[in-house]
Amino acid sequence: MSELKHTPLHGLHRELGARLVPFAGFDMPVQYPPGVKKEHEHTRRACGLFDVSHMGQLLLRGPAPAEALETLVPTDIVGLAAGWQRYALFTSGEGGILDDLMVVNAGDHLYLVVNAACRDQDIAHLRLGLPEGHEIEVLDRGLLALQGPEAVSVMRRLCPAACELVFMQHGHFEIESVPVWISRSGYTGEDGFEISVAAEDSETLARRLLDEPEVEAIGLGARDSLRLEAGLCLYGHDIDTETTPVEAGLIWAIGKPRRRGGERAGGFPGADVILHQVEAKDHRRKRVGLLGEGRAPVREGAELFDAEGNAIGHVTSGGFGPSVGQPVAMGYVATDQAEIGTRVFAEVRGKRLPMTVSKMPFVTPGYYRG
C-alpha cells in the first residue's frame, strides 16, 4: 500500500484527538472524541466543521469552457449563470456514472470539485475528452465545509457578505484578510458553506472557525450518516459505472436542453442509453429510500426481498439515523417494488428485517434559498 497523503489540516486532526483512517488515499479523521452520534447531532443542532480537502479542486480554462464540458456531462452547463454552482455527472459510453461533481461558472473559466477517490481518473478523463485548446489546472487548496443551522450565524461574524449567498451560489471573499472562495452548499442536508482556501492558510482558518462557540470538528463518520439522512448519493456505493442516472433517480441532473428535443440534445457519452431511459421509462431498477423498524441498522450489501421471498435488490448505504430515530438506508429495487409504502425485507445475519420504501430525504433540508 502506498503512503497515505495528508490534507493541510492533518496536524490539527491529531491535536484534536481524531481517530484517523485511510480514505481515498488520505489519512482522514473518521471521528473525534465525542463520537459519531454526538458529532452528527451537533451538526444538525448547531454547526460542524468538516475537512474535505481530499476532494479534487480543478480549473477548466479555454474557449467556451461550458460548451466544452457539456461534451462529457449531461448537465446544462451553458445555461449556468456566472457565480452559480450545479451538480453534474461524468457518464460513460454505456450510460453508467463515472463520477459526480460540482461545477461553478467562475466567469471566464469553470471551477470543478470532484470526488477524492476518482480524482486522478477524472483529471485523465477531462484531459483526454475535452476539445483541443482546453486546459485543466489541478489546484493545491484546502476545502472546509461549515454545516448546520448556526453556520450562517458564524459566517455573519466572520464574513457578512457571504451570508448574502443563497443555496448553490458561489463567490470570492475574504475572512480576516484571508482570500477564500465560498459556496452556499454542502453534503449534510443543512444550510452551510464550503470554503476553498490556499493550503498554507487552511489551518489558520480552521482554527479561527473552531474558536466560534457553535463550531465543533466533525469526522467522516458523521458526514456519512448526515448525507444518508439527506438522501445524498455516495459515489462507489449508491452510484457507479453500472448505474445510469435514470436508475439512480438523478434525472433532474440531466438538463432539459440536453434531452431529446432540447436545443443541445445529446452530445455526451452514453446519451442514447440515458435519453432512451428518460423517455421510455423502461429501466428495470430504481434507487429508493428505506426505513427500518426497531433499532438494528441495515448495512450496505444486504439483500432485499419482497413479501413472497423473491430477491428484488440490495442496500447500497445504510445505518441508524440519529436524527430520524430509526434505521435508514438507500438501495436499488425492481421498479415494480419502488412505490412509496411498499414493504420489503432486508436479510441481516440470516434474518429478514422489514423495511418500508420511503420518500427521500429522510429529514427536512435546511438549504437557504432566500
> In this model, does residue 64 exceed pLDDT 60?
yes
pLDDT-based confidence at residue 363 (cuts at 50, 70, 90): very high
Distance CA 269, CA 71 (A): 7
Per-residue pLDDT tens for 42-57?
999 999 999 999 999 9
- What is residue 25's predicted lDDT score, i.e. its pLDDT? 96
Q: Give pLDDT, residue 282.
A: 86
pLDDT score for 93 = 98
Number of domains the chain contains: 2
Q: Is the pLDDT of residue 92 over 80?
A: yes
Tally the residues of the chain: 370
Residues 294 and 224 in one domain: no
Residues 158 and 32 in one domain: yes
Handedness of CA 11, 15, 16, 21 (dihedral sign): positive
Residue-wise pLDDT for 196-254, tens only, equals 999 999 999 999 999 999 999 999 999 999 999 999 999 999 999 999 999 999 999 99
Please work out, in degrees rounded to the nearest 5, the angle formed at the alpha carbon of residue 54 by the alpha carbons of 190 and 73.
75
What local confidence, expressed as pLDDT, does residue 79 receive?
98
Instruction: Report the percentage of the chain scoring pLDDT > 70.
Output: 100
Residues 95-123: what's their mean pLDDT? 98
Alpha-carbon distance 105 to 111, whole Å?
7
Task: Tell me: do 335 and 210 sit in the same domain.
Answer: no
What's the distance, CA 104 to chain centroid?
Answer: 15
Residue 317 domain flag? yes
CATH label of the domain that carries residue 25: 3.30.1360.120
Please determine, for residue 1, whether its predicted confidence score (pLDDT) is greater than 90.
Answer: no
Supply angle C-alpha 165, 171, 176, rounded to 5.
Answer: 95
d(CA 238, CA 241): 11
Separation of alpha carbons 146 and 216, rounded Å? 10
Considering the domain architecture, whether residues 290 and 368 belong to the same structural domain is answered as yes
| Co-location of 51 and 151 in the same domain | yes
Q: What is the DSSP letter of 84?
A: B
Residue 295 lies in a domain: yes
Q: Are residues 198 and 330 in the same domain?
A: no
Cβ atoms of 23 and 54 closer than 8 Å: yes
- CB count within 10 Å of CB 261 equals 9
Helix (H) or strand (E) holding 98: strand 97-105
C-alpha to C-alpha distance for 85 and 98, rounded to whole angstroms: 20
User: Does residue 108 lie within any of the structural domains?
Assistant: no
| Dihedral class, residue 187 (left if φ above 0, else alpha if ψ from -120 to 50, else beta) | alpha
**Residue range 51-79: average pLDDT?**
98
290 is a domain residue: yes
Residue 36 placed within a domain: yes
Distance CA 232, CA 92 (A): 21
Give tens-digit pLDDT for 267-325.
Answer: 999 999 999 999 998 899 999 999 999 899 999 999 999 999 999 999 999 999 999 99
Rounded mean pLDDT, 59-66 = 98
**Is 153 a member of any domain?**
yes
Residue entry with cell 479523521: 29
> 35 to each of 29, 32, 38, 216, 342, how far by Cα in Å?
11, 6, 6, 12, 34
Task: Tell whether 254 is covered by a domain.
Answer: no
Give the domain-ending residue among 194, 229, 264.
Answer: 229
Q: How far apart are CA 249 and CA 269, in angstroms?
A: 18
Domain membership of residue 351 as a residue range: 284-370
| Same domain assignment for residues 290 and 362 | yes
CATH number at residue 331: 2.40.30.110
Q: Of 199, 229, 259, which residue sits at a domain end?
A: 229
Q: Could you tell me if residue 125 is inside a domain?
A: no
pLDDT tens for residues 273-288? 999 999 998 899 999 9
- pLDDT recorded at residue 2: 73
In terms of domains, do 28 and 144 share one? yes
Q: What is the rounded average pLDDT of the residues 8-22?
A: 98
Q: How far apart are CA 152 and CA 160, in angstroms?
A: 9
Cβ atoms < 10 Å from Cβ of 256: 13
Point out the domain boundary residue: 213, 229, 245.
229
Examine the domain organization and report whether 180 and 328 are in the same domain. Answer: no
